[in-house]
Every structure is written in C-alpha cells, then in structure tokens.
A and B are shown apart, each in its own frame.
Chain A
Amino acid sequence: AQSVTQPDIHITVSEGASLELRCNYSYGATPYLFWYVQSPGQGLQLLLKYFSGDTLVQGIKGFEAEFKRSQSSFNLRKPSVHWSDAAEYFCAVGAMDTDKLIFGTGTRLQVFP
C-alpha cells in the first residue's frame, strides 16, 4: 500500500539558514510526488511536483526538491529561509493506478529572526 512518512514533526531554523524537510514514500509503481505548504488558517498550496524527467525540481518561493528513487525520498530544500516560510509542509504521493493522493502527517516549520 502507498504510504508517506515525514519523520520530522517540528523543525526550527534561524532566518537565513538552509532548510531540508524529509519525505520518504513507499509505493511499487512510478510515484507522482508533491510538496504543499499550508500557512496558518489557510488551505494547502502546491510548492512543486515531480512526475518524471530531471530529478531536481524547482518550485515556487525558492524551494526545490530532489527525487531519489534508490532512497525512496523526495526531500524539500531551500538555501536561505525567510520568516514568511513559517508554515506547515506536506508531502504527498500519487500514482496512475490510484484515484487519490496519500499525504504525510506534515512538518511544522518555525523560523526565528
């Protein structure tokens, strides 16, 4: 069965520091991978997605993610975090043979000035 694991429930970084949020998935078929961001009191917004091709994908707000098939991972990165990046981040996986996405439980990012 499909599953998504976000091992870090809560991460705190200083503004300007680099960031990496981890996501591991379990699925036999070719995965379709997504990262979403949720600001407080808001719905989820797509940051980036990976379907095929280049394993390093660029998204909005300066985020990028790298698909590593051998590690079943799709980690989200940002070189320099801004205070406005404080939010909750969700990784999700889908596939051609399913009708739905499976979401991880989320990582809450706190940014200190």
Chain B
Amino acid sequence: NAGVTQTPKFQVLKTGQSMTLQCAQDMNHNSMYWYRQDPGMGLRLIYYSASEGTTDKGEVPNGYNVSRLNKREFSLRLESAAPSQTSVYFCASSEFPGTDTQYFGPGTRLTVL
C-alpha cells in the first residue's frame, strides 16, 4: 500500500518549457488535490477534483491545467513554465471532499530557470 505517489521527485525546467506532474493514489479515494508550497505562504490549492470526472479551480490556478485520468490518477500540467512557478508541489487525496483527512504525497521540487 503505497498511499499517494508523485513523479518526478525533482525537475528543472527552462522558461517556456512544458511538463506534467503525475500523481496516483491506491486508497480508492474519491477526491484529489494539487497544492503548491512556497516559503512563508503555507499550502495553496491549485486545482482539485472532488470526485472522478470533476475538476475545479483552487486559489492559484493560473498557468496550470489538470486531468483526472481515472479514480486513481490526477495530473498537473504546466503548459509554459515561468520562474514564478518554482515551488514544491504536493498531491493529496481524501475519501470525501471538505471534511475528510487528506493524505499527502512526498512532493515534487520544481525549479524554473
């Protein structure tokens, strides 16, 4: 039982490049989330999927897109990376949205030069 897994663990991009961050959970959870963490700013929600087949914007969605590929997988895409997107990205999942414990992956450290 791996919980929430994220790939890659580290990534360096040049401005304008694109990439997709992958997230998968094996807990049969309905809801999945993407956060970014920056020093002094805590966790900020980028996008979330309350249930399979739905996605919604969070607090900081600009410059990102998401796909809920199936119940297990939720990917985050940067179409044209900018230095302001240098951050640590966390994926999380929960059985139900809003009230349930969220389980976090180990994170992806992204640097955009």
Report Cα–Cα, A106/B37, bound state, in Å: 11
B104–A95 CB distance below 8 A:
no
Question: Residue B101 at the A interface, CB < 8 A?
Answer: yes
User: In the complex, what residues of A have CB within 8 A of residue B31's CB?
Assistant: 99
Question: Residue B58 at the A interface, CB < 8 A?
Answer: yes
A101–B102 CB distance below 8 A:
yes
A94–B107 CB distance below 8 A:
no
B98–A90 CB distance below 8 A:
no
B41–A94 CB distance below 8 A:
no
Question: Residue A54 at the B interface, CB < 8 A?
Answer: no
A101–B98 CB distance below 8 A:
yes
User: In the complex, what residues of A have CB within 8 A of residue B105's CB?
Assistant: 43
Interface size on B, residues (CB 8 A): 25
Most buried by B among A49, A92, A98, A103: A103
**C-beta contact mask, A79-106 vs B, less than 8 Å → 1, else 0?**
0000000000010101111111101111
Question: Residue A112 at the B interface, CB < 8 A?
Answer: no
Report Cα–Cα, A103/B45, bound state, in Å: 9
Question: Residue A42 at the B interface, CB < 8 A?
Answer: yes
CB contact under 8 A between A43 and B90, given known A100-B58, A103-B42, A105-B41: yes
A45–B98 CB distance below 8 A:
no
User: In the complex, what residues of B have CB within 8 A of residue A104's CB?
Assistant: 42
B106–A100 CB distance below 8 A:
no
Among the listed B41, B42, B48, B104, which residue makes an inter-chain contact with A43, where contact means beta carbons less than 8 Å apart? B104
What residues make up the interface of B, taking CB atoms closer than 8 Å to A?
Answer: 4, 31, 33, 40-43, 45, 48, 50, 56, 58, 90, 92, 97-107
Known: A44-B104, A46-B103, A99-B97. 5 other contacts (CB 8 A): A32-B99, A44-B92, A99-B50, A99-B56, A105-B42
Top-8 shortest CB links A-B: A105-B42, A43-B104, A99-B97, A99-B50, A103-B43, A44-B104, A32-B99, A98-B98
